[in-house]
Structures are given as structure tokens and as C-alpha cells.
Amino acid sequence: MSKSWSQEEIQKLTELTLKYRQNNEQINWESVVKQMVTRSEAQCKSYYSNILKKQLNIQTRKNHTWNKTEILSLWTLAINYNADFNQIINNFEVFRSFTIKQLQSQWNQLQTRQKLFIERMKSYLTKEDQIQLLSNKQLLTDHFYLRIGSQRKPVIQKLLEKSGDIVNDNGYEPDMSEIRGYEAFFGDFDPDSLLEYYNNELSRRKLTYLKQTD
């Protein structure tokens, strides 16, 4: 039996140790060795502990760039499994090469970004939306209001241009049916919420105007 490990053996050991990783540290070596017919259990453990484990840690812990699929998967699983990252690592192949610390860190970052973004987007959200998003039940990028939020305000601003004298109101009453025509942006607003949203934007516009003329 050759003392040096071939590339094929290294690749196979890598795949098997990831496949039979029972939790963050333990590997089912009995299952690994059954498929590593060219090496003994002692050889597999030695190579993994002295060389392979360090290489895997460098690849996954420091150099990994999270893609959208991984982020969405982590978000969903962390919610469904109450952030039990050990269980997630054991049951889902996509995270077998990750450590608990990695997943926890990314999860914390996602929650922080979510809260900060909601704070910035409050003018586009109903109270129900804010509660839903802050409860971490839905990722920001999947939420209807935030998908179109950046486009909603310009639409309102265009309609505000028709309000005439924004300081004295000029007896203008907004045509909610006209706003309703922008179904992609406001189709899920009830009439009262839509009017409240419009009036809030109008009030902000007035306040900005008055500050500029002081």
C-alpha cells in the first residue's frame, strides 16, 4: 500500500468525511472506512486530523463567499429548526462543510441587516408588515413591500405634483382610484391605508418645503 495519498484518495476521503459527519466535530469513521478500501481507519483518521481538516477549515471558514441560495436556505432552516445549527449541519448536505460558528455568525448578520433595513423602510410598510418582518418569518428580499418599495415613493411623488399649492392644500383631494391604477405598487393597500400613506408623504413634502423656505 502506498504511503503517499493520491489525489483520488484525498478527494474520496474529503467527500466521505463530509458525508458521514454526525455533528460539528464527530465523524462516523466506521462508515468512512467501509468505502475507503485502500486505507485503514488509523490512516484515514491521521490524514484527516493532520492535513485534511485544516485544509477544509481554511476553505470554509475564511474564504467562503455566501451565495443567495445558501443565504435563503440558512434563513429558512434557522427559523424552522429554531437556530439549532448542529441539527442543520447534520441533516442538510449543503451545510455539512460549515461549522456551527459560521452558521451562527451569518444568521446574526442576517437578522441585524433585516432590522436595520426595516428601520429605513418604515415609510413603505404597514405595522403588520413590520411585525411580520421583525419576527424573522420572511426574508426581506422575498417580501412584496420591499421588492417594490424603492419604486413606490417616486409614484406617489408624481401624483403629489398634481396637488397644487402643497402649503395651503388648495382644496385638493387626492384621487385614490388614480393611485390604484398603479396596481403593481399599491394593489394590496386597503383604501384607508392608501389614503394614510398618501397623506404621510404629503405631510413630509410640506415639512421639507417649509424648512427650505425658512
Condensed to tens digits (0 to 9), the pLDDT of residues 115-142 reads 776 676 666 566 766 676 666 555 554 4
Cβ–Cβ under 8 Å, residues 114 and 136: yes
What are 95-122's pLDDT values in tens digits? 877 878 888 888 888 878 777 766 766 6
Contact present, 107 and 114 (Cβ < 8 Å): no
* Whether the Cβ atoms of residue 88 and residue 77 lie closer than 8 Å to each other: yes
Question: In Å, how far from its chain's centre is CA 82?
Answer: 16
Which amino acid makes up residue 199? N
Q: Which range, of 29-33, 73-77, 96-100, 167-171, averages the lowest pLDDT?
A: 167-171
d(CA 194, CA 165) in angstroms, rounded, equals: 21
Cell numbers that stand for 6 in this block? 493520491
pLDDT single digits (tens) 49-90: 888 877 776 555 555 778 777 887 888 888 888 889 988 988
What predicted TM-score, i.e. pTM, was given to this entire model?
Answer: 0.41
Cα angle for residues 108, 58, 36 (degrees, 5° grid): 115
The CATH number of 1-63, from 1.10.490, 1.10.10, 3.30.70, 2.20.28, is 1.10.10
Domain extents for the chain?
A: 1-63, 65-120, 143-213
Phi, psi (5° rounding) for residue 152?
Answer: -70, -45
Residue 166 confidence (pLDDT): 46
